[in-house]
């Protein structure tokens, strides 16, 4: 007798399974960007987030305001900070399912599975940042455009811009498509929603742009971190969407396995593009627009285009090989989840090696994760204050050109942790 399972039960199983997957090692150490989120939640009130923190940041304030509400109720543990991203990933997966149904895709559950298991989505579902919130809002925007819900289009577009500035490229891509199709009511809805958001954000955005230009001038290598237009940064986009944020030795094996997987997915996406050109356009156009904008200000990093996971998953669902793609995504995602080697920087372990009354030298703006785990540690800016012997955390030093030799020190001891380290510096004794 053949066992039949209803689609509703399969959907529940899929979403519960994805949530359980996201919970694996979700208490791993927070890293620099998440440390910023944690510090803002702890040190700033609602009004202060907008007036004091955001002018010095590079993102709009809506995510932080939302997280302030959340952490007031849920607390500040690693899981509590990351749970909203997990929930936004699940919600976006639900919207992908609805979009697939609207597109008359026969395998809507496969489309949702392809989204939920996509390695980069799994990684950022475990990150206390605004990217999955933006992905959810942009998926709602696209669904509303299919349903001709013009109010919904405008609201979703506005909220996405107020969550993440990079949303503008997804909005611009959809706007261009509607212009091409002469769907002017959708164009108007997108334009009005985006315009309202930019008008509201303009006083803040103008200050942020000034501060960004100052920082780009002060920190010479900051442009390369943000993402200039290079062949490497362009190639990283398909690579990371295919295999996620993992890399391993030997490198030839990694490049062979990941390269084959990228090639397979690329061929399947190309074949699917013949069936739905709009989805293909919504994958490619934001990257092209982002690359063009990066000639003016650097922002060409793959995670800033996380929202293309939505049309990408829908395209792959057209393939007759979708079950194998789901399996492949699952393998790459589990490789990240189950092996701590691929997890975030281990600030948690580093903090246990420091005394609560320790004085640590480094770049203060780069040590928010340390403050999260060891709030009592005294942090000194190594650029302005030094002593004969120092406990140093050299995180981001290459960006600022800081070396022990530059200040006349030698390294006497190093403690290594995943992605971070503690160094012990001593002043060189001059021979007379």
| Structure token digits, residue 286 | 């934001």
User: What is the three-class DSSP state of 382?
Assistant: coil
Instruction: Give the C-alpha separation, 424 to 218, whole Å.
Output: 27
> Do 177 and 141 touch, CB atoms closer than 8 A?
no
Query: What is the value of pTM for the model shown?
Result: 0.94
Spatial CB neighbours of 104, under 8 Å, sequence gap ≥ 6: none
Q: Nearest to residue 400, comparing CAs of 419, 378, 384? A: 384
pLDDT of residue 1: 44
Q: Provide the token pair at 225.
A: 């971190």
Q: How many angstroms separate the CA atoms of 227 and 291, rounded?
A: 9
Tokens for 194, please give them.
């985006």
Per-residue pLDDT in tens (0 to 9) along the chain, 432 residues = 455 667 788 889 999 999 999 999 999 999 999 999 999 999 999 999 999 999 989 999 999 999 999 999 999 999 999 999 999 999 999 999 999 999 999 899 999 999 999 999 999 999 999 999 999 999 999 999 999 999 999 999 999 999 999 999 999 999 999 999 999 999 999 999 999 999 999 999 999 888 877 776 666 666 666 778 899 999 999 999 999 999 988 999 999 999 999 999 999 999 999 999 999 999 999 999 999 999 988 888 999 999 999 999 999 999 999 999 999 999 999 999 999 999 999 999 999 999 888 899 999 999 999 999 999 999 999 998 889 999 999 999 988 888 998 889 999 999 999 999 999 999 987 655
In whole angstroms, give the CA distance from residue 291 to residue 300: 6
pLDDT for the residue 217: 64
Nearest CA-CA partner of 392 in 428, 363, 372? 363
């Amino acid at each position: 007798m053949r066992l039949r399972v209803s689609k509703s039960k399969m959907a529940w199983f899929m979403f519960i399974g994805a949530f359980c997957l996201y919970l694996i090692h979700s208490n791993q150490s927070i890293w620099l960007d998440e440390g910023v989120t944690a510090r803002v939640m702890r040190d700033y009130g609602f009004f202060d987030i907008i007036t004091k923190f955001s002018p010095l940041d590079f993102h709009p304030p809506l995510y932080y305001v939302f997280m302030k509400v959340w952490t007031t109720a849920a607390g500040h543990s690693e899981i509590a900070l990351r749970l909203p991203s997990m929930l936004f990933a699940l919600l976006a997966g639900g919207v992908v399912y609805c979009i697939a149904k609207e597109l008359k895709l026969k395998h809507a559950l496969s489309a949702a599975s392809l989204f939920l298991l996509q390695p980069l989505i799994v990684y950022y579902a475990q990150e206390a940042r605004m990217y999955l919130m933006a992905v959810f809002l942009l998926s709602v925007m696209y669904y509303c455009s299919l349903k001709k819900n013009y109010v919904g289009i405008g609201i979703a577009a506005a909220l996405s811009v107020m969550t993440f500035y990079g949303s503008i490229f997804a909005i611009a891509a959809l706007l261009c498509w509607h212009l091409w199709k002469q769907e002017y009511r959708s164009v108007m809805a997108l334009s009005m929603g985006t315009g309202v958001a930019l008008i509201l954000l303009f006083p803040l955005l103008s200050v942020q742009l000034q501060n960004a230009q100052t920082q780009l001038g002060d920190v010479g290598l900051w442009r390369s971190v943000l993402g200039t237009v290079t062949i490497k940064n362009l190639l990283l986009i398909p690579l990371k969407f295919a295999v996620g944020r993992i890399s391993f030795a030997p490198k030839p094996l990694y490049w062979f396995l990941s390269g084959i997987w990228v090639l397979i997915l690329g061929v399947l996406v190309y074949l699917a593009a013949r069936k739905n050109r709009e989805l293909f356009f919504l994958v490619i156009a934001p990257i092209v627009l982002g690359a063009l904008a990066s000639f003016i200000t650097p922002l060409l990093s793959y995670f800033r285009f996380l929202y293309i996971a939505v049309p990408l998953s829908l395209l792959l669902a057209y393939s007759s090989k979708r079950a194998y793609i789901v399996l492949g995504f699952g393998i790459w995602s589990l490789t990240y989840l189950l092996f701590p080697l691929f997890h975030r920087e281990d600030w948690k372990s580093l903090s246990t090696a420091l005394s609560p009354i320790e004085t640590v030298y480094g770049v203060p703006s780069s040590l928010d994760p340390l403050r999260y785990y060891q709030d009592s540690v005294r942090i000194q800016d190594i650029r302005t204050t030094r002593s004969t012997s120092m406990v140093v955390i050299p995180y981001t030093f290459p960006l600022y050109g800081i070396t022990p030799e530059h200040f006349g020190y030698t390294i006497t001891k190093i403690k290594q942790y995943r992605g971070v380290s503690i160094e012990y510096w001593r002043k060189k004794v001059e021979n007379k």
